[in-house]
Amino acid sequence: MSNHYLSQKIINWQEEFGRNHLPWQKNRSVYTTLVSELMLQQTQVTTMRPYYQNFIDHWPTIDSLKKASLDQVMQAWSGLGYYRRAQYLKKTVDYLPDDQSQQQFNIQDWMKFPGIGRSTAGAIGSLALKKPWPILDGNVKRVFSRLFKLQHPINSTLGLKLLWNIAADCMPTLQPDRYNQGLMDLGSMICTPINPKCKQCPCNDLCLAFRDDTVQSYPITVKKNKPIPIKKWDLVLLIEEKSFFLEKRAKKNLWGNLYCPLILQESQTNDYLSTINLNSTSKLHQFKHLFTHFKLEANVYSVAIKNKQYLKLPTGKWVTNWHGLALAKPIKDCLENIFLS
């Protein structure tokens, strides 16, 4: 297989049929690429698109985002999930040098910033700076594993190493931005996980899996059968008259820098309630939420207190509504269920 022939096919296809009108492709820059690539980690284009537009409307330039507070950034990210990405973005932008210095960065320089791995660095370099740096997101892994009939699991160390070797070998020096965009578009639009449109693929004459009618057998993955652990929490909503308390979660915790009711382990709740002067307690709501590595089962309690003056509370706010605060989606849904239903 000629790598030049392959890359040129992908470039030609992308120009005619690929996605060329996404918001972050207009006036492409390091900044818009950085924002979009971090938002796209673990998130579909259709989900992140309105968040991206809102974010850029608020902070159209690096300098404008540097002036924003982390609270403002977290609030704009609220609902998108994987909130550590917002913290990484703010930290990266705060330390990002001027445009001229960015041009001198190599891929290792970009990887020194938090939340930027090899593939994200490759996307920034190729899409924004037109450098011939390979990428390897989920779509690209699938495309390469089928093209070359990769016999090693793509989530294994060896499989990943081989994929990076393939990505580097196939990387053209001309039009690396359109080539990498074409790879992502192929994986998203044609070489899909289920029911791929192989007859529409510009590379089907080169694809070994298509040749052997084994497309659905790739990519190979290592199946992990570990049971998902369950965490059981109680969320305590302290209420005094018309106001309620939301703590600001510590940076290192789940939902770090976001606001939510007090979070307690189930076994801690009764002991905690016995230490405060309260009028009444009632169970308001319960919900479940699946995270990447565990499942959360939560009960939400309303605790009417007599006097908040003597309460020892973590960092947070007494509020009458949650508008304008950075909230995780499960917490926002929970508050809406309690107060608006």
Structure tokens at 15: 């120009």
Which residues are within 8 A (CB) of 143 and not within 5 positions of it... i.e. 6 or more apart?
A: 183, 186, 187, 191
Please, is 289 exposed, middle or buried when counting C-beta atoms within 10 Å of its C-beta (0-12, 13-18, 19+)? Answer: middle
* Residue 169 dihedral angles phi and psi, to the nearest 5°: -65, -35
DSSP string, 206-230: T-HHHHTT-GGG-S------PPPPE
Could you say which DSSP state residue 282 is in? Answer: E
- Among 170, 157, 140, 154, which residue's Cα sits nearest to residue 219? 154
Please, is 130 exposed, middle or buried when counting C-beta atoms within 10 Å of its C-beta (0-12, 13-18, 19+)? Answer: middle
The whole-angstrom separation of Cα 1 and Cα 149 is 13
The residues that bridge with 300 in the sheet, in sequence order, are: 235, 285
The whole-angstrom separation of Cα 2 and Cα 8 is 10
- SS3 of residue 265 by DSSP: strand
DSSP string, 139-170: HHHHHHHHHTT--S-TTSHHHHHHHHHHHHHH
| 241 included as an active-site residue | no
Structure tokens at 77: 């990210």
Selected catalytic residue, list 16, 37, 240, 297: 37
DSSP string, 107-137: HHHHHTSTT--HHHHHHIIIIIH--------
Asked whether 220 and 156 are in contact (CB, 8 A), the reply is no
> First CA to last CA across the chain, in angstroms?
61
Which are the catalytic amino acids? 37
